[in-house]
């Protein structure tokens, strides 16, 4: 049977490939994976009806094993999930398969059984944004195992950007009706979002972005109010870079955080909720921060793995016109694809009257999108012990141990609804641990958290590590 031999070697001019089959010799796939995996030299052969195996010991120190098959079309790669995702950015997603990681199934089981609590016969919409196909496949199987009915939408950020660039009111009016009609059929919702470029939509004109958000808001509102929903990220090398970690280390971090036993925080989080429900005035102090507001009459909500993953917060909202003073945020942020640092807000009678930051023009443009954008829709105290550093991804950053977030824009409807309406909902994070300058939070004059540590007895489980 036909067998093709090849050799691959890194030289000072790049990666050289020699083969008696020109489809291998000229193929970009081998050269690319060699560059990414740090391969120095390989000699091997392959039959046309068998995959080409890269010996483990020849793949540098990363331990990735890649395989390719099918000489007549772009190769698909499978190996470690990290390696598969690296290639997935450059190949047709339909041709990419990741070697199955059992942690994906563990996560699916948690999302279906604990986070959304699916019951037999219930319908769930799964939305997958720039993630490997193994992820929605695993979720579909977990949903069916629970006796529920899966529905799936698959999205790609580059396609979404192109749609938004030329968005029209008539177009998104139709799209909004379509997505709302679909959501109205659902009992639950699970979204998993990957991203190879967190600034993918940064060049979408502000008026187009505002139009898209306006037309899609009814769908989001219905999802939040009427379904059991869970939203989470998917680890990518881009996210690892944001976090200042290797891709493998970030992947391990991601699963450690997402597969955390969130039930352990329940009793202490419920105690914090009770205290917040009984509180009138909140006073927040710290470096560049002296802020007062009321939360009287607005209930708090415990989040321990039922909504966002990762999770770990108790949130409410300030009385809309009660916010007075100044607040400085020491965690970097990204919103509508634009990066921000050093945001500082000044409030009078609940309204942001002055806003400063690294990108002041864009900051104020967002806050001027509508009247509600300059008022606050959420105040939350976070306590995830596995998340200690910001990475410019709000689903992680808003759960940082020892932090709180304060949110210009839309309030969640329900018990935390302070009446503020906006297309904007921008969680801005301030870390109050000692290593970030410290800070204090008082409820009705009583110190309840100092330097990121809760002081009331019974809340020790919310204080993280160390």
Query: Which of 41, 73, 95 represents a domain boundary (last residue)?
Result: 95
Q: Give me 247's structure tokens.
A: 């891709």
Integer Cα distance of 383 and 391 in angstroms: 16
Q: Give me 84's structure tokens.
A: 């598969």
Task: Compute CA distances 320 → 77, 113, 294, 323, 324, whole Å.
Answer: 53, 36, 9, 7, 11
pLDDT digits (tens, 9 = 90+) for 345-369: 999 999 999 999 999 999 999 999 9
Residue 41: its H or E element:
strand 41-47
Asked whether residue 35 carries a pLDDT value surpassing 50, the answer given is no
26 lies in which domain range? 3-95
374 with 416, same domain: the answer is: yes
228 with 320, same domain: the answer is: no
Integer Cα distance of 219 and 232 in angstroms: 18
- Starting at the edge strand that comes first in sequence, how are the strands of the sheet with 446-450 ordered? 351-356, 344-348, 324-328, 289-294, 281-286, 439-443, 446-450, 453-454
12 with 73, same domain: the answer is: yes
118 with 253, same domain: the answer is: yes
Band the pLDDT of 199: cuts 50, 70, 90.
Answer: confident
- The closest alpha carbon to 370, from 425, 417, 422, 426, belongs to 422
Query: Which of 258, 279, 309 represents a domain boundary (last residue)?
Result: 258
- Starting at the edge strand that comes first in sequence, how are the strands of the sheet with 376-382 ordered? 301-303, 313-316, 376-382, 403-408, 428-431
Integer Cα distance of 29 and 399 in angstroms: 39
Task: Compute CA distances 121 → 25, 116, 124, 143, 147, whole Å.
Answer: 53, 14, 10, 10, 6
If one counts the domains in the chain, the total is 3
Query: Dihedrals φ, ψ of 127, to 5°?
Result: -115, 125
- The closest alpha carbon to 137, from 163, 162, 83, 100, belongs to 100
214 with 273, same domain: the answer is: no
pLDDT digits (tens, 9 = 90+) for 293-312: 999 999 999 999 888 889 99
- Starting at the edge strand that comes first in sequence, how are the strands of the sheet with 3-11 ordered? 14-19, 3-11, 41-47
Q: Give me 39's structure tokens.
A: 């391969």
For the chain, percent of residues with pLDDT exceeding 70 = 79
Query: Which of 73, 95, 117 represents a domain boundary (last residue)?
Result: 95
Q: Give me 54's structure tokens.
A: 């890269």
- Report whether 107 contacts 74 (CB < 8 A): no
270 with 356, same domain: the answer is: yes
298 with 411, same domain: the answer is: yes
Query: Dihedrals φ, ψ of 167, to 5°?
Result: -60, 140
Mean pLDDT over 338-347 rounds to: 95
26 with 125, same domain: the answer is: no
Band the pLDDT of 453: cuts 50, 70, 90.
Answer: very high
Quick one: pLDDT at residue 13?
Answer: 54
- CATH code of the domain containing 167: 3.40.1830.10
308 with 411, same domain: the answer is: yes
Quick one: pLDDT at residue 8?
Answer: 54
Quick one: pLDDT at residue 16?
Answer: 60
Quick one: pLDDT at residue 307?
Answer: 82
Beta bridge partners of residue 232, listed in sequence order: 192, 309
Query: Dihedrals φ, ψ of 389, to 5°?
Result: -130, 145
236 with 186, same domain: the answer is: yes
Look-up: residue for tokens 């864009």?
362
371 with 322, same domain: the answer is: yes
Integer Cα distance of 361 and 373 in angstroms: 15
Beta bridge partners of residue 284, listed in sequence order: 291, 441
Asked whether residue 92 carries a pLDDT value surpassing 80, the answer given is no
Band the pLDDT of 109: cuts 50, 70, 90.
Answer: very high
Integer Cα distance of 461 and 464 in angstroms: 7
Q: Give me 325's structure tokens.
A: 């003073």
What does pTM read for this prediction?
0.69
């Amino acid at each position: 049977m036909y067998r093709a031999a090849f050799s691959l070697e890194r030289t000072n001019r790049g990666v050289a490939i020699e083969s008696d089959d020109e489809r291998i010799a000229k193929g970009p796939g081998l050269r690319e994976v060699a560059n990414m995996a740090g391969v120095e030299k390989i000699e091997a052969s392959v039959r046309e009806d068998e995959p080409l195996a890269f010996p483990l010991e020849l793949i540098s120190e990363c331990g990735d094993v890649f395989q390719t098959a099918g000489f007549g079309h772009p190769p698909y790669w499978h190996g470690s999930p990290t390696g598969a995702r690296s290639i997935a950015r450059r190949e047709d997603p339909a041709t990419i398969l990741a070697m199955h990681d059992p942690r994906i199934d563990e996560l699916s089981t948690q999302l279906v059984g604990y986070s959304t609590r699916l019951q037999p016969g219930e319908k769930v919409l799964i939305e997958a944004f720039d993630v490997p196909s193994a992820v929605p496949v695993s979720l579909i199987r977990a949903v069916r195992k629970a006796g529920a009915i899966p529905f799936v939408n698959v999205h790609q950020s580059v396609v979404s950007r192109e749609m938004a660039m030329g968005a029209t009111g008539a177009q998104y009016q139709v799209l909004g009706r379509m997505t709302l009609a679909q959501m109205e059929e659902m009992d639950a919702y699970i979204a998993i979002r990957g991203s190879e470029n967190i600034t993918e939509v940064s060049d979408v004109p502000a008026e187009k972005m505002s139009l898209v958000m306006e037309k899609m808001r009814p769908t989001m509102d219905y999802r939040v109010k009427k379904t059991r929903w869970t939203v989470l990220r998917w680890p990518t090398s881009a996210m690892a870079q944001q976090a200042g970690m290797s891709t493998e280390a970030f992947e391990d971090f991601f699963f450690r955080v997402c597969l955390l036993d969130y039930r352990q925080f329940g009793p202490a989080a419920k105690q914090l909720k009770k205290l917040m429900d009984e509180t009138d005035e909140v006073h927040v102090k710290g470096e560049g921060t002296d802020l007062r507001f009321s939360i009287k009459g607005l209930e708090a909500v415990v989040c321990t793995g039922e909504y966002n993953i990762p999770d770990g917060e108790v949130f409410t909202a300030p009385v809309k016109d009660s916010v007075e003073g100044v607040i400085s945020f020491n965690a970097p942020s990204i919103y509508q694809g634009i990066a921000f640092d050093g945001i500082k807000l000044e409030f009078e009678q609940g309204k942001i009257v002055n806003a400063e930051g690294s990108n002041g023009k864009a900051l104020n443009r967002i806050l001027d999108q509508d009247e509600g954008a300059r008022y606050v829709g959420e105040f939350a105290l976070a306590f995830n012990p596995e998340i200690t550093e910001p990475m410019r991804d709000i689903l992680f950053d808003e759960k940082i141990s020892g932090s709180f977030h304060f949110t210009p824009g839309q309030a969640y409807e329900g018990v935390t609804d302070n009446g503020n309406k906006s297309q904007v909902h921008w969680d801005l994070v301030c870390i109050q641990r000692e290593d970030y300058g410290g800070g204090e939070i008082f409820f009705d004059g009583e110190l309840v958290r100092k330097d990121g540590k809760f002081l009331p007895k019974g809340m020790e489980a919310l204080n993280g590590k160390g």
